[in-house]
Amino acid sequence: MKAIQYKDYGSSDVIELVEVPVPSIQNKNDVLIEVKAAGINPIDIKIRKGFMKAARPVEMPFIPGGEASGIVVAVGDGVSTFKVGDEVLALTKTSAYAAYVTADENSVLLKPQGLTFEEAASVFVNIGTAQSVLFTAGKLEKGQRVLIQGGAGAVGGAMVQMAKAAGAYVIATASGQGVELAKSFGADEVIDYKLQKVTSLVKDIDLVADNAGGETQQNLFPVLKPGGKLLSIVIPPSQALAEQYKVTAAFVASNITSETLKNGIELLKTGKLKPVVSRVFALKEAAAAQDFLTAGGVNGKVILTVNED
Ligand SMILES: NC(=O)c1ccc[n+]([C@@H]2O[C@H](COP(=O)([O-])OP(=O)(O)OC[C@H]3O[C@@H](n4cnc5c(N)ncnc54)[C@H](OP(=O)(O)O)[C@@H]3O)[C@@H](O)[C@H]2O)c1
C-alpha cells in the first residue's frame, strides 16, 4: 500500500511516499480501516522536527498521522461494535498517512451522517482536546467568561463552538481572516491579536484556553479574575505568575476516548458544531501540506485524501 513516511528527523524534505505492506490486525479489539482521509496535526510536525523525542519517542522510518476516517475492511475476533463496511473515524495515534491503518475499537466512532470523509478526519483531536480543556479540566459553566487564544485554529475553533453551545460568554483571539471565522463560530468578541492588545481589552475571565503557547502566554494571566484558570495545550504555564495573579494554571494533555467525544459528536449531529477544513491535499503532497500548516494563518484543519480512485 501507499504510505507517507519520515525517513529521518528534519525538514519536510525527509517526507517520502513509499510502498509498504498493509498492516495486519495484531490485537483482538483492532479494526482495519481503508483510509479515505487523514487529519494533519501540529504534533506530526513536532515529531518530524525531533521536538518530541522525550515525550513521544518514535523509530525511524516512521509513518505519521494520529487521526483518520475511512471504511472498516476487517475486524479482530474481539470487536463487537463495528463490522466490515462501516464508515468510521478513528484516533490512530500513528500511521494514518497511509492507505490502511489499524485502530482499537474504543478509539473508533461511526461517521456521523452528513459529514464528508474529509470533515470526519478533522474532528477527533479537535473536539476531544476541546472537551478535555473546557469541561474536564476547566469545569466551564453556563454564563462564565472564557478567553480562547487561537480561536480560529483547528482546536480553538472547536473550543469556541463548544463553549458557546455550553452557554459561556466567549472571547476569542485570531488574526487576518481568522477574525471573521471565529465570529462565524459564534464568539461574542474577537480580538485580532496582531493589531490589538488583549490585556487592555479583556478582564474578569473565568477560564483562559491557550492554544498558541509561546511568549504571549504570560500576557494572558492579567485578564483572569482571582480564582480563575489558565489552561494550555501547548506549554506548561508559569507557576510564579499563577501565584502572583492568584489563579491556577496547568498544561492539559487531551484525553480522547469515545466517552470524552460524546458531547462534541452530539453537537456535530445537531449542527451546533461545524467541522472546518481549511485545505485538502493528496497523500503524495504530505510535505506541502505540513509546510502549509507550519506557515500559519491556516484557519481550520489541513487534511490529506487517501485511496482516491
Ligand atoms: N496537549 C494536547 O493534548 C494537544 C492536543 C492538540 C493540539 N495540541 C497543540 O495545540 C496547538 C494548537 O493545535 P491546532 O491543531 O489547533 O493548531 P492550529 O490549527 O495551527 O492553531 C493554532 C492557532 O494559534 C493561533 N496563534 C498563533 N500564535 C498566536 C498568538 N501569538 N496569539 C494568538 N493566537 C495565536 C493561530 O492563529 P494564526 O494562524 O492567525 O496565527 C492558529 O489559529 C499545537 O501546538 C498542538 O501541537 C496539544
**CA contacts within 13 A on the Cβ side of 136:** 21
Atom of ligand 1 lying closest to residue 157 CA: 16
Q: Which residues of 273-304 are buried (b: 16+ CB within 10 A; e: fewer)?
A: bbbbbbbbbebebbbebbebbeeeebbbbbbb
Residue with cell 490589538: 196
Domains by residue range for the chain, with CATH: 2-123+275-305 (3.90.180.10), 126-251 (3.40.50.720)
Three-class SS of residue 112?
coil
CA 2 from centre of chain: 24
Q: What's the rounded Cα separation, in Å, for the pair 107 and 148?
A: 27
Atom of ligand 1 lying closest to residue 41 CA: 15
Phi-psi sector, 207: left (phi>0), alpha (psi -120 to 50), beta: beta
Q: pLDDT of 213-228, one tens digit each?
A: 998 999 999 999 999 9
In the predicted model, is pLDDT for residue 309 greater than 70? no
Q: How large is the average pLDDT for residues 77-106?
A: 96
Cell of 100: 490502511
Cell of 110: 461511526
Q: What's the rounded Cα separation, in Å, for the pair 117 and 38?
A: 9
Spacing, Cα 132 to ligand 1 middle (Å): 15
Q: pLDDT of 148-193, one tens digit each?
A: 999 999 999 999 999 999 999 999 999 999 999 999 999 999 999 9
Residue nearest to ligand 1 atom 24, measured at CA: 150
Select from 256, 252, 220 the least CA-distant residue to 233. 252
Q: How large is the average pLDDT for residues 2-25?
A: 97
Average pLDDT, the chain: 96
Query: What pLDDT was estimated at residue 308?
Result: 66
Q: How large is the average pLDDT for residues 230-259?
A: 95
